[in-house]
């Protein structure tokens, strides 16, 4: 007989479940709630009862605290035991300082090293501050130098200028000149160049001034040519006419000199570069003005002397 | 003929040479007595200015003879070495414009001439001030020329012409810029001064209004003067010289 596969599968499951169900029932009946409770029978006796309690238990503290040393070390003595009552501040035991000295020594050396570092750092700060001050001074000095271009050093009496100059040259690589060298430079170069420039300027100024004065005198003379002819006609000497023209030119020069001198004296302080004028310069300038005016009047005098007295008539 | 004054005889002046030569004066004869004022008129180019320049010793005549005051100054050649001194001492000039020196006051303008002749400045100024009194401009003695009117300036010019007491005054159009009244006043002044100082005065003029004031008039035509007596004098108060002040 052939059993269908589904039936076979059901039969297989039943075959597995049946033993399991039997095992469950046996266990429940023998050891489980369904198992029989053993009972001891005793005879009831009438006796007096004495109340008593007996038990075994564990005493536990209500609060627990963990204590420990702040430094590691070996425990040398312990004066308390479990369950002892202790008070605040009570010594519980002692620690054996096995490597404490070594550690103190090490810490001390570390401390010393750190202190030396602090000292070094302080000295570095001081040095840095000194350098800062020096740099600030140098900055200020170089700014001053930038403005002034040169620094004048006054030596203490008895100091050798050449030795000082050499030292400064090596020290700062600056150009150093002693008084003698500086005088040589000033006279030979700077002052000579300035003198040439001022001289050239003065020459141009003198030529221009002479041309202006000559033009003015010439114009004034030409405007009075008829009067000059009349003067010659009525018997005026040539030298008198020349003297009149010269007088006019010198008068112009004197006025110009006075105005120029007053203006120069009043305005000179307001100019960036001061040109020192000594009284000798004023005298020389005055003489130059007179000479320029005299030369400038020559053309006008020449024309005046050429005037024909006949021009006054007709 | 008066012994002094101006005397010109056969005065000639030729400009240039050869065919282009121009004869400006063709034998001028003329005499002006001391104290006399004569007019000299003529068209342009007639030779008036040439005659005046020759009389003023600023151009040299070609030939003839000239006497100023008591000095023969030209006789076919200059007879005076220093013509400048001659002009200064013997001739006074009055021009169309006063031509005063603008930067001198009028006293110094007049005093300049005697000073040029060597007179001291003080004396020169005194002479100038005396003339100003005569010419009625003493109150302006310290004025500058530009501060005076045209008539006053011309009176200063007359004072300048008179200050060296020259025997001769040459006046070139002295009234041209003035109005009639002032023109006649100037001529009147010249007449007065001529009489007062015995000066011979020649006035070159184109001014019609003063022509009747001359007693004698020379009219130059083509280099030759024609003397012309003006009579009678027109009824003009200025024709008769006013009494000296």
Show the tokens assigned to B186: 């100037």
CB B115 within 8 A of CB A240: no
Cα separation, B198 vs A299, whole angstroms = 43
A301 is a domain residue: yes
- What's CA A80's distance to the chain center, in Å? 69
Query: What ipTM is given for this predicted complex?
Result: 0.79
For residue B207, list its beta bridge partners. none
**What CATH class does B6-16+25-229 carry?**
alpha beta
**Model confidence at A206, in pLDDT bands (50, 70, 90)?**
confident
When CB atoms are compared, the residue of A226, A235, A240 closest to B87 is A235
Cα separation, B216 vs B38, whole angstroms = 5
When CB atoms are compared, the residue of A233, A237, A248 closest to B93 is A233
Stretch A212-231: mean pLDDT, rounded?
A: 88
What integer pLDDT is reported at residue A4 of this predicted model? 76
A1 is a domain residue: no
A132 is a domain residue: yes
Q: Which of A198-207, A225-234, B104-113, B234-243 has the lowest mean pLDDT?
A: B234-243
Residue ranges per structural domain of chain B: 6-16+25-229
**Which of A149, A176, A203 represents a domain boundary (last residue)?**
A149
What integer pLDDT is reported at residue B231 of this predicted model? 52
Stretch A12-18: mean pLDDT, rounded?
A: 88
Interface residues of chain A, partner chain B, Cβ below 8 Å: 224, 226-227, 230-237, 240, 248, 308-310, 312-314
Q: Which residues contact B154 (CB under 8 A, 6 or more apart)?
A: B94, B98, B174, B175, B178, B182, B186
**Model confidence at A162, in pLDDT bands (50, 70, 90)?**
confident
Taking only the tens place, the pLDDT of each residue in A88-103 is 888 888 888 777 778 8
When CB atoms are compared, the residue of A226, A234, A240 closest to B93 is A234
CB B170 within 8 A of CB B159: no
Cα separation, B232 vs B147, whole angstroms = 39
- Same domain as A197, residue A306: yes
A243 is a domain residue: yes
What integer pLDDT is reported at residue A102 of this predicted model? 82
Cα separation, A17 vs A8, whole angstroms = 14
CB B169 within 8 A of CB B93: yes
More confident residue, A4 or B146: B146
CB A210 within 8 A of CB A296: yes
A215 is a domain residue: yes
Count the helix, strand and coil residues of chain B and give each as a percent rounded to the nearest 5. Answer: 35, 25, 40
Stretch A97-111: mean pLDDT, rounded?
A: 84
Q: Which domain holds residue A135?
A: 103-149
Stretch A281-299: mean pLDDT, rounded?
A: 89
A40 is a domain residue: no
Residue A226 with chain B: CB contacts under 8 Å: 97, 99
- ∠ CA B217-B222-B226, rounded to 5°: 25
Tens digits of pLDDT across chain B (245 residues): 445 789 999 999 998 888 888 888 888 888 999 999 999 988 888 888 888 889 888 899 999 999 987 889 999 999 988 888 888 888 998 888 888 888 889 999 999 889 988 899 999 999 999 989 888 889 999 999 999 988 889 889 989 988 988 889 999 888 887 788 878 888 888 888 888 888 999 999 888 888 888 888 888 887 777 777 665 454 444 444 443 33
Q: What is the 3-state secondary structure (H, E, C) of A43-68?
A: CCCCCCCCCCCCCCCCCCCCCCCCCC
Cα separation, A86 vs A56, whole angstroms = 27
- For B99, which residue in chain A has the nearest alpha carbon? A227
What is the tally of structural domains in chain A? 2
What rounded mean pLDDT belongs to chain A? 85
Query: B206 at the A interface (CB within 8 A)?
Result: no
Show the tokens assigned to A81: 């035991």
CB B59 within 8 A of CB B15: no
**Model confidence at A129, in pLDDT bands (50, 70, 90)?**
very high
What integer pLDDT is reported at residue A243 of this predicted model? 92
A125 is a domain residue: yes
A296 is a domain residue: yes
Stretch A52-57: mean pLDDT, rounded?
A: 84
């Amino acid at each position: 007989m052939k059993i269908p596969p589904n039936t076979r599968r059901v039969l297989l499951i039943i075959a597995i479940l049946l033993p399991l169900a039997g095992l469950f029932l046996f266990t429940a009946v023998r050891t489980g709630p369904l198992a029989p409770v053993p009972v001891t029978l005793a005879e009831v006796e009438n006796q007096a009862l004495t109340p008593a309690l007996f038990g075994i238990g564990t005493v536990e503290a209500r609060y627990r605290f963990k204590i420990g040393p702040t430094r590691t070390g070996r425990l040398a003595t312990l004066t308390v035991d479990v369950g002892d009552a202790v008070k605040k501040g009570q010594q519980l035991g002692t620690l054996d300082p096995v490597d404490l000295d070594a550690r103190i020594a090490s810490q001390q050396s570390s401390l010393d090293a750190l202190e030396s570092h602090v000292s070094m750092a302080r000295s570095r700060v001081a040095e840095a501050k000194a350098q800062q001050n020096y740099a600030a001074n140098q900055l200020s000095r170089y700014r001053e130098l930038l403005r002034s271009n040169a620094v004048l050093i006054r030596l203490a009496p008895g100091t050798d200028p050449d030795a000082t100059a050499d030292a400064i040259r090596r020290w700062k690589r600056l150009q150093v000149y002693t008084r003698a060298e500086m005088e040589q430079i000033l006279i030979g170069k700077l002052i000579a160049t300035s003198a040439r420039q001022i001289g050239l300027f003065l020459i141009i100024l003198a030529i221009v001034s002479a041309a202006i004065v000559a033009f003015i005198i010439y114009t004034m003379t030409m405007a009075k040519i008829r009067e000059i002819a009349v003067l010659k006609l009525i018997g005026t000497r040539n030298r008198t006419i020349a003297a009149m023209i010269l007088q006019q030119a010198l008068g112009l020069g004197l006025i110009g000199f006075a105005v120029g001198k007053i203006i120069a004296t009043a305005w000179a302080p307001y100019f960036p570069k001061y040109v020192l004028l000594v009284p000798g310069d004023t005298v020389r300038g005055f003489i130059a003005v007179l000479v320029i005016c005299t030369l400038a009047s020559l053309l006008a005098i020449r024309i005046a002397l050429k005037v024909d007295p006949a021009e006054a008539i007709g | 003929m008066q012994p002094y004054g101006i005397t010109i005889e056969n005065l000639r002046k030729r400009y240039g040479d050869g065919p282009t030569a121009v004869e400006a004066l063709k034998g001028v004869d003329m005499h002006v007595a001391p104290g006399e004022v004569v007019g000299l008129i003529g068209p342009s180019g007639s030779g008036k200015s040439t005659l005046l320049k020759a009389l003023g010793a600023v151009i040299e005549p070609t030939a003839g003879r000239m006497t100023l005051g008591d000095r023969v100054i030209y006789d076919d050649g200059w007879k005076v070495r220093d013509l400048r001194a001659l002009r200064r001492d013997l001739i006074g000039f009055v021009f169309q414009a006063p031509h005063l020196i603008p930067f001198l006051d009028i006293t110094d303008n007049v005093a300049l001439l005697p000073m040029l002749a060597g007179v001291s400045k003080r004396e020169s100024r005194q002479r100038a001030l005396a003339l100003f009194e005569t010419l009625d401009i003493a109150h302006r003695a310290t004025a500058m020329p530009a501060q005076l009117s045209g008539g006053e300036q011309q009176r200063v010019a007359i004072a300048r012409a008179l200050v060296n007491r020259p025997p001769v005054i040459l006046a070139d159009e002295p009234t041209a810029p003035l109005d009639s009244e002032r023109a006649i006043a100037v001529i009147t002044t010249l007449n007065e001064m001529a009489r007062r100082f015995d000066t011979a005065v020649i006035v070159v003029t184109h001014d019609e209004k003063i022509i009747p004031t001359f007693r004698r008039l020379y009219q130059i035509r083509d280099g030759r003067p024609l003397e012309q007596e003006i009579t009678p004098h027109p009824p003009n108060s200025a024709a008769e010289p006013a009494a000296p002040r």
